[in-house]
Structure 1
């Protein structure tokens, strides 16, 4: 399973804006850094990792919307 281009863009934007390494971002999401890095580079990841990333992205988007 692969992340969408939009998911990858959001991950990279968040990582850059918050000056995070893949291991630190992976800790925030709750997965290992290798699957995160692989997914962010367009590689295959497990459905469990994709779901964790997607759920985290949604929570970040909702958190940003409530702060606007």
Structure 2
């Protein structure tokens, strides 16, 4: 969910394109993209932080979780 912390309101909810089991979320160094590891879909979803839309998927292999984003993205 996208939440306005100041006003304590839910602004939106995102359903990923494939049902799965999201495990970990990391933010890109520039703060514009969220990376969501999904161990059931064996990859990482890319979510645009401004539009709150899915913008990509990176297949990584079985049981994706516990990842780190490099400083240069």
Structure having the higher strand fraction is: 2
Q: Which has the larger radius of gyration?
A: 2
User: Does the pair score TM above 0.5?
Assistant: no
TM norm structure 1: 0.26
Q: Which has the higher contact order (CA 8 A, sep 6+)?
A: 1
TM norm structure 2: 0.25
Structure having the higher helix fraction is: 1
